[in-house]
Structure 1
Amino acid sequence: MLRHASSVDLQMAEKAEATELQRMIAIEQQKAQFQAQVHTFTDVCWDKCVDSPGSKLDYRTETCLQSCVERFIDTTLTITNRFTQMVQKGAH
């Protein structure tokens, strides 16, 4: 009886470890996606807004960069929300 209990405990511990590992992998994937998004913002908005780099950003460049990133985020959220709605409708 004691062996059976320890076997069950071991299986439960292994399952908990697997679940925790999956959670950690998901977090790392989210971090990687975030970093990729930041790089995309930087590339697109830098090319659009910065004529020639200097020691400081002027007001026009700073405003352009901010607006560009905000539009990019809004567009990404809109597309993501629309895709989520389509998936949910398809699941029903």
Structure 2
Amino acid sequence: MSQQQQTQAQGLESFDENTRRELQQFLEQEQTKARIQTQIHEFTDTCWDLCIKGQPQSRFSRGEQACLANCTDRFLDASLFIVKSLEERKGQM
């Protein structure tokens, strides 16, 4: 257990069981949000590097627009596929 987790656990001991559960759930949700935000930034960087060549102008070219749209669509398709697969696995357990 990391030092941060130990400190959190010690701080949670002063609360009743329901409050501890709510706080733990809140922390897990915030950590999930942070992971998703990190993934979005990585995705944005990947699509930008793939689609935008040279210095960006005041507007994207047609090719850049099409590339960004395609990159975004593929990312969303892959994300939905992964979520559905995980839900199916969870349902089978």
- Give the TM-score normalised by the residue count of structure 2: 0.69
After superposition, what is the alpha-carbon deviation per residue over 1:9-45, rounded to whole angstroms, capped at 9, x for unaligned?
xxxx611210221121122112112212212211221
Whole-angstrom CA distance in 1 between matches of 2:76 and 2:39: 9
2:45 aligned to 39, 43, 46, which one? 43
Structure 1 equivalent of residue 26 of structure 2: 24
- Aligned letter for 1:14? D
Determine the structure 2 residue equivalent to 1:53.
55
Structure 1: gaps of 5 or more residues: 1-12
Name the amino acid aligned to 1:39. Answer: H
Give the greater-gyration-radius structure (CA): 1
Match of 1:73 among 52, 73, 76: 76
Q: Matched residues in 2 for 1:68 and 1:49: separation?
A: 8
> Unaligned stretches of 5+ in structure 2?
1-14
Give the total of aligned pairs: 78
Runs of 4+ in 1 over 4 A off after TM superposition: none
Aligned identity (percent) is 32
Distance, in Å, in 2 between the alignment partners of 1:86 and 1:16 is: 30
Deviations 1:33-73 (A, max 9, x none): 22122122112211221111223222321231122112111
Greater helix fraction, Structure 1 or Structure 2: 1
* TM-score, normalised relative to structure 1: 0.69
RMSD: 1.8
